[in-house]
Amino acid sequence: MTTPRTKPSVFFADDAQADDLFITQQRKAKLEGYVKTLAAIDRLMDFSAMAVEVDAVCPRPDRSKGGRPPYATAVMLRMVFPQGLYNLSDEQCKYQVLDRMSFQRFCRVEGSLNVPDARTLWNFRQRLAAGGLGGQAVFDAVSRTLQRLGYIPRGGQMVDATIVQAPIAQVTEEERQTLNAGQTPEGWSQKRLAHTDFDARCTKKHGKSYYGYKLHANVDARHKLVRKIKVTPAHADDGSALPSVIQGAESNTRNRLMADRGYDSQSNRDVSAHHGLQDRIARRATPGQVHKKRLKQRNAAISRVRSRVEHVFGALRQQGGKWVRAMNLARNTLAITLQCAAYNARRLAWLVSLETKSASTPAA
């Protein structure tokens, strides 16, 4: 067999020469239009202050016995934001940071000899997930930035839930019952146990089955920013999570609570009244009710505003936030929380750019 003749590869050549001496500057100028979101987040977010808050609730590993010093918390936080924005795994995030100049600049590793690898990212997320405090600290830090820049909650509170799917565990009905009882099925190895999610559950929506978790979110009606969240297994009732995500009337410029018919219950109306909020929860028809015209009109009026929360869930889907990879509630709660924090940061960048554009446009 004749060995094919191939030319020497220059893909990774160190001495590759460009015809244009200013090609790097030209490419950077063209790339500016594609990295506006990352550049705006870099400008608006104080990652150093965020790192201080994360270190306070999730202390850095002890290195008193030696070992290579860990990466700065601010650098690690910068790396998890592109993960949330672009739905990157740990391995893929490491590759993109190595390959992309814009990611290197955002993560402050441009010109660095070492870049955090996938295992380092995994360990950092484990640190954030411990006790459920790290992800909430990041989300709260982003929320304080929103407040500082003047994007306070306006227009009332919109509460809704969306399903976040997880990898389906291939088990029999008997094994499922054993797992739900908190026991180990007979014959299962430790490896299979480690790759089985014991917290995810099944649910049905519009006749279709789903497996995973449920994100309950409180979104303000004006800016469509996520203000409060709670993550539960998918089979949890929507209405039961309302007390966990509702905020007081003083937290928003308008004291109204909007939700769909899944939240229609006397207990939720009592919770709304306790917080000083106007009840804008859609109503279910009572059994045997014939005249439904006024009921439909009321629900339609509420839905015209409340439906804006679906735009938020659609944006999370584009980011990949409607699917999780981890194998337990704590780590998946962290992943969803970081997705919501990344969404708020991206939304903030858009709101600021819109306001800047409006200010620079001369009045007619």
Q: What is the pLDDT of residue 364?
A: 54
Average pLDDT over residues 140-144: 96
% residues pLDDT > 70 (the chain): 93
Q: What is the pLDDT of residue 21?
A: 60
Q: Which pLDDT band, with edges at 50, 70 and 90, does 1 fall under?
A: low
Mean of pLDDT over the chain: 87
Average pLDDT over residues 162-180: 84
Flag whether pLDDT at 119 surpasses 90: yes
Q: List pLDDT tens digits, range 81-94.
A: 999 999 899 999 99
Show the DSSP H helices in the chain as ranges. 23-31, 36-44, 47-57, 73-86, 90-99, 101-106, 118-129, 134-148, 173-180, 190-194, 242-245, 266-274, 293-306, 309-319, 329-360
Q: What is the pLDDT of residue 198?
A: 82
> Where along the chain do its domains lie?
21-61+70-149+340-358, 154-285+292-327
Q: List pLDDT tens digits, range 242-252.
A: 999 999 999 99
- Which two tokens mark 12? 């990774």
- For residues 200 and 222, what is the distance between their CA atoms, to the nearest angstrom? 33
Q: List pLDDT tens digits, range 266-300.
A: 999 999 999 999 999 999 888 878 778 898 999 99
Q: List pLDDT tens digits, range 54-84.
A: 999 998 887 777 777 788 999 999 999 999 9
Question: Cβ(85)–Cβ(37) under 8 Å?
Answer: yes
Predicted TM-score (pTM) of this structure: 0.88
Q: Which pLDDT band, with edges at 50, 70 and 90, does 14 fall under?
A: low
Q: Can you give the length of the chain in residues? A: 364
